[in-house]
A and B are shown apart, each in its own frame.
Chain A
Amino acid sequence: MMDAPAAQRAATPAPPVLRRDGGRGLLAGICAGIAARYGIDLLLVRIAFMLAALAGGLGVAVYALLWLVLPKSQGPAAAGAQPARRVRTERASVQVALGVGLLLLSVLLTSRELGLWFSDALVWPLFLVATGGALIWRQSLGGPSRPPTPPTNPTTAVPVPTVGSEPRAAPAIEYARRRLSAVSRTSLGVVLVVAAGLAFLQSLGALSLARDVVLAALVVAAVLAVILAPWIIRLARSLSTERAERIRSQERAEMAAHVHDSVLQTLALMQKRADDPREVASLARRQEHELRSWLSRHTATAGERRLHGAVREAAEEIEREHRVRVEVVAVGDAELDQRTEALVAAAREAMLNAAKFGGGTPIDVYLEAADGNIRAFVRDRGPGFDPAALPADRRGVTESIVGRMERNGGRAKITSSADEGTEVELVLEGPGR
């Protein structure tokens, strides 16, 4: 019988002080630790504890006390138990909670022995509440709910001395697993506290039904408050502030980057070109367009390209290339198809003409899409011309406007006079409307 412990002692020298031997123990390794320290057979120690537990609960209380007091073994015996180790560290919260409950229980039982009598209806529920409550509160207030840095220490809220190096999962998986076990521990606590409430009610079964119901409601409310309050407060606080802060800082960064890339660059460019008013105006105008479209992208829903957008694009292009203001006003919008694309191309041609021959006067573009009919007007205030007496090279451009519209079932009309400048009217009438 002494052979086995003796052999073990030979392999691993007896620990100089009393420690819990988590490697060999069933619950916390108290019995195993005692057995190892004093060279007694483990089974005998366990039997002794069982007997003491049955004799008025003394064994339980002593066990709980030792659990709280004794440090964990750091010998190779524990290190040999690698697979069990992870579960054990995860259990730290459970152990502490159980310890709290047991301590309370031992106090109650002891005072009963001394003649101070507490009814069973109070003692056991109190024990359960103490254990479950400790578990929940520890879980929700014990440590950060998420690691500020990638988790490097796989121990939970309770820092239990670990032995050797543990095989570690990838941080993300590790973190998810810890969340899961934290949740399950919290659930365990909830179950315990609820069970305590129920047990308490059960023991008061003699009370009338009405009082039972009221009491039940009160107890349930109190139980819920105990369980949920710290958790909800913490969760809500950390989640909302964190999210708001993240969104704010992203927006700030994007805005700063944009302003730096575009507006500041343009301003610098404008200072350099200060002696060329036309260039400065053109730069400012281009920057304005760019900023506006960026801002509207932020507020408006991004849709696919439509007629209005296509005409505006053409106008901005002409504005860029010819340094002339093009003002687009649009009422309604339409899908882009072959006909409307042709209208955009004709309008672009008209704007180009106005930019070339309008003497630098601003160009007004008005686009109207209503009831399937589309009309576009391109107007400048230039010197005007007589459409009948055009030079050949300009007649070609004119044809490309009128001809293009007619090929697509529309029409174009050009009016021009020295007083009013030139206006090109493009019309597409809706099919069968």
Chain B
Amino acid sequence: MSLPRVAIVDDHQLFRAGVRAELEGLVEIVGDAASVAAAAELIASTEPEVVLLDVHMPDGGGVEVIRRTAEAHPAVRFLALSVSDAAEDVIAVIRAGARGYVTKTISGPDLADAVERVREGDAVFSPRLAGFVLDAFSGADPPPSEHASPADLDQLTPREREVLQHIARGYMYKEIALRLEISAKTVEAHVTSVLRKLQLSSRHELSAWAVERRLLDP
């Protein structure tokens, strides 16, 4: 299998260089960009398979990059990369369409592994993201809203909850499959389903985060 074609979008030159060095030989880097506008151009001209996306950038950040390019390039997948500890930032970029979120302290091989999984269409949840999602979906389930959102989008199934808890505890997908006595494919299906709920749910906590960041109209 060929190496995944990757673009790096980050406004810190030092960080871009570091990621390049770490991913050397593990992926094919087609280019990097330091701003939203440059990123949009880069994605249009090179059509990478995976874009490593910084959450925080001066002119709108990762969310803006996804908004400008996702429609025209549906095959491009985004993996958010951030130093941010703030749940709202992370949830916002996931809701905009990123397939996963990892922290910038991730090791080179782990990052390459995450890129590979995103390329295959899976979701990549770091322990921290799993914690955020559990937090957002915890507490009382929302009352049935007048919106046309099916109720099952607003809550996690017990199995999905279990999978997320294991991710938060630091288990890899394979280990989770072993412990829950299900196949690795099923674990991935659960995670992808959680990602879908994260993006489509109108659950109050999720919308509130997005509105706070002025990503949606209230």
Q: Interface size of B by Cβ–Cβ distance < 8 Å?
A: 15
Residue of A nearest to B175 (CB): A420
CB neighbours of A423 from chain B (8 A): 169
B134 to chain A, nearest CB (A): 4
Residue of A nearest to B129 (CB): A329
A332-B138 contact, Cβ under 8 Å, with A327-B127, A366-B131, A366-B165: yes
State whether the Cβ of A377 lies closer than 8 Å to any Cβ in chain B: yes
Q: Decide if A368 touches B127 in the complex (CB within 8 Å).
A: no
Q: Decide if B138 touches A377 in the complex (CB within 8 Å).
A: no
State whether the Cβ of A319 lies closer than 8 Å to any Cβ in chain B: no
State whether the Cβ of A90 lies closer than 8 Å to any Cβ in chain B: no
Chain B, residues 130-168, CB within 8 Å of chain A (1/0): the string is 110011001100000000000000000000000001001
Q: Which residues of A350-374 are within 8 A (CB) of B?
A: 362, 364, 366, 368, 370
State whether the Cβ of B85 lies closer than 8 Å to any Cβ in chain A: yes
A377 to chain B, nearest CB (A): 5
B27 to chain A, nearest CB (A): 23
State whether the Cβ of A112 lies closer than 8 Å to any Cβ in chain B: no
B1 to chain A, nearest CB (A): 27
Q: How far is the CA of A423 from the CA of B169 in the complex (A)?
A: 9
Q: Decide if A329 touches B128 in the complex (CB within 8 Å).
A: yes
Q: Decide if A331 touches B169 in the complex (CB within 8 Å).
A: no
State whether the Cβ of B170 lies closer than 8 Å to any Cβ in chain A: yes
A331-B85 contact, Cβ under 8 Å, with A366-B127, A370-B138: no
B147 to chain A, nearest CB (A): 26
Q: Is the interface of A mostly helix, strand, loop or mixed?
A: strand
Q: Decide if B85 touches A366 in the complex (CB within 8 Å).
A: no
CB neighbours of B171 from chain A (8 A): 379
CB neighbours of A368 from chain B (8 A): 134, 165, 168
State whether the Cβ of A234 lies closer than 8 Å to any Cβ in chain B: no
Q: Decide if B168 touches A366 in the complex (CB within 8 Å).
A: yes
State whether the Cβ of A146 lies closer than 8 Å to any Cβ in chain B: no
Residue of B nearest to A381 (CB): B170
Q: How far is the CA of A362 from the CA of B127 in the complex (A)?
A: 13
Chain A, residues 370-392, CB within 8 Å of chain B (1/0): the string is 10000001010100000000000
State whether the Cβ of A292 lies closer than 8 Å to any Cβ in chain B: yes
Q: Decide if A332 touches B165 in the complex (CB within 8 Å).
A: no
CB neighbours of B169 from chain A (8 A): 364, 366, 377, 379, 423
Q: Decide if A331 touches B131 in the complex (CB within 8 Å).
A: yes
State whether the Cβ of A330 lies closer than 8 Å to any Cβ in chain B: yes
B82 to chain A, nearest CB (A): 13
Residue of B nearest to A281 (CB): B105
Residue of B nearest to A300 (CB): B86
Q: How far is the CA of A196 from the CA of B205 in the complex (A)?
A: 62
Q: Decide if A329 touches B130 in the complex (CB within 8 Å).
A: yes
Q: Which of A331, A366, A379, A420 contacts B138 (CB 8 A)?
A: A331
Q: Which of B127, B130, B135, B170 contacts A332 (CB 8 A)?
A: B135
Q: Decide if A329 touches B131 in the complex (CB within 8 Å).
A: yes
Q: Decide if A329 touches B138 in the complex (CB within 8 Å).
A: no
CB neighbours of A381 from chain B (8 A): 170
B interface residues with partner A (beta carbon < 8 Å): 85, 127-128, 130-131, 134-135, 138-139, 165, 168-171, 175
Can you list 26 A-B contacts (CB < 8 A)? Answer: A296-B85, A327-B128, A329-B127, A329-B128, A329-B130, A329-B131, A330-B131, A331-B134, A331-B138, A331-B168, A332-B138, A362-B170, A364-B168, A364-B169, A366-B127, A366-B131, A366-B165, A366-B168, A368-B134, A370-B138, A377-B169, A379-B169, A379-B170, A381-B170, A420-B175, A423-B169
- List 13 additional A-B contacts (Cβ < 8 Å) besides A331-B135, A364-B169: A327-B127, A327-B128, A329-B128, A329-B131, A330-B131, A331-B131, A332-B138, A364-B168, A364-B170, A366-B127, A368-B165, A370-B138, A379-B170
